[in-house]
Amino acid sequence: MADKSMTSPDYTTWLGEVKSRIQSARISAARSVNRELILLYWDIGRGIVEKQQALGWGESVINRLSKDLNGAFPETKGFSARNLRDMKRLFQAYSDAIVWRQAAAKLSEPIVGQLKWRQAVAKLKGSEITAKLRQLVAEIPWGHNLLILNKVTAPAERLYYLCATAKFGWTRKVLLNQIKAGAYERSLADGKTHNFPAALPEHLAEQAEETLKSAYNLGFLGIGREIRERELEERLIERLKDFILELGYGFCFIGRQHRVALGKKEYFIDLMFYHRFLKCLVAIELKIGEFKPEFAGKMDFYLNLLNDKERAPDDNPSIGIILCAEKDDVEVEFALKSKTNPIGVAEYQLKPTLPKELKGKLPSAMELSEAIGLQTKKMKKKR
């Protein structure tokens, strides 16, 4: 006869807790193994550099070392000559304390914990900076480190992606997507407008600031014409995976045209998400035109409804994000001044834009067309 305790709610709850603890231990063990592996690679890379400098050894020592290590540890992968050269590159990339002190000084935005990192580095000596970088590098997998080394060259930019990957647990695919989308450049762009410091506790305001971007790249939608708000919403739902990647790690989709009732009336929020790390509902409203002050009032109203009717007891205050084609920062600032709920306003881009330094220096579409037409006439005359 089966033990009744095996089918009781208490046992089911306890089983779930044990499973969760086992999963947590596995993740922790995997992170620990990864950390030790990267620290080993760092030390091997440092040893290669130091021996080559002190004893004048050439590059052939790497091939010799690879052969000897593979012979001593045939069951262990990772000691190919190519991998050993990457270990050397890793150490060389992060070993110049002066370069990294200057890079950290450029990180003035409180994004992915970089402001705290910059403040800490400013107080450290050269060897301490290198040690801190060594620990940061060890927080992310080897493949992620190689991706940053291969795709990013500027020290401050590398630091951004190291910090972001370590904090948000980006997969390699997400990291590559963020690099291609220019997440670092956009993180430093002017125009990040919100009222988070006034509407949220300090620690939560900083996290929300890290989550919001000044602009979102929706070029993956392939839209090259004017569209209606509903059509934009539908296209985003069709490419939901890409949209979530652009929003950033931690966003969990709840639904579109999310219904909230008040008395006999119904209200519909364009897109509704829950953020795992902020632990709050995130309402997103899409606007195809420029920002208008009344948008902030409408979002404030929606957030009041969400906090009253759908916010869980242990949730943080709901956050609103208004995505619009254009915005005037001063107008946004005044529109948000009287709002008690946390609201951010950001622009979206439907196609890639030229860097500021190139604007006005390249020919327009009309000028290109005229030039092509003129060239065609010249070729016909020669014939």
Classify residue 373: in a domain, yes or no: no
Residue type, 332: V
Arithmetic mean of pLDDT over the chain = 81
Classify residue 364: in a domain, yes or no: no
Which residues, in sequence order, are bridge partners of residue 255? Answer: 272
Query: Does 182 or 255 have the greater pLDDT score?
Result: 255
For residues 179 and 267, membership in a common domain is answered with no
For residues 255 and 270, membership in a common domain is answered with yes
- Please classify residue 27 by burial: count the beta carbons closer than 10 Å to its beta carbon, then call 0-12 exposed, 13-18 middle and 19+ buried: exposed
Which of 65-74, 98-107, 191-200, 302-311 has maximum average pLDDT?
A: 302-311
pLDDT at residue 372 greater than cutoff 90? no
pLDDT at residue 124 greater than cutoff 90? no
Query: Does 282 or 330 have the greater pLDDT score?
Result: 282
Quote the CA–CA distance of 147 and 251 in Å, as a whole number. 24
Classify residue 117: in a domain, yes or no: yes
What is the C-alpha radius of gyration for the chain, rounded to an integer number of angstroms?
26
Estimate the crossing angle of helix 97-105 against helix 126-137, to 10 degrees.
Answer: 80
Query: Does 360 or 96 have the greater pLDDT score?
Result: 96
Classify residue 269: in a domain, yes or no: yes
For residues 206 and 182, membership in a common domain is answered with no
Classify residue 54: in a domain, yes or no: yes
- 193 within 8 A of 345, measured Cβ to Cβ: yes
- Tell me which residue range forms the domain holding 62: 29-187
Q: What is the DSSP string of 23-83?
A: HHHHHHHHHHHHHHHHHHHHHHHHHHHHHHHHH---THHHHHHHHHHHHH-TT----SHHH
pLDDT attached to residue 329: 82
CATH of the domain at 268: 3.40.1350.10
- Parallel, antiparallel, or unpaired for β 319-326 and 280-290? parallel
Residue 109 confidence class, pLDDT cut points 50, 70, 90: very low
Quote the CA–CA distance of 214 and 218 in Å, as a whole number. 13
Query: How many domains does the chain contain in total?
Result: 2
**For 86-92, what is the mean pLDDT?**
93
Classify residue 33: in a domain, yes or no: yes
pLDDT attached to residue 189: 58
- Please classify residue 288 by burial: count the beta carbons closer than 10 Å to its beta carbon, then call 0-12 exposed, 13-18 middle and 19+ buried: middle
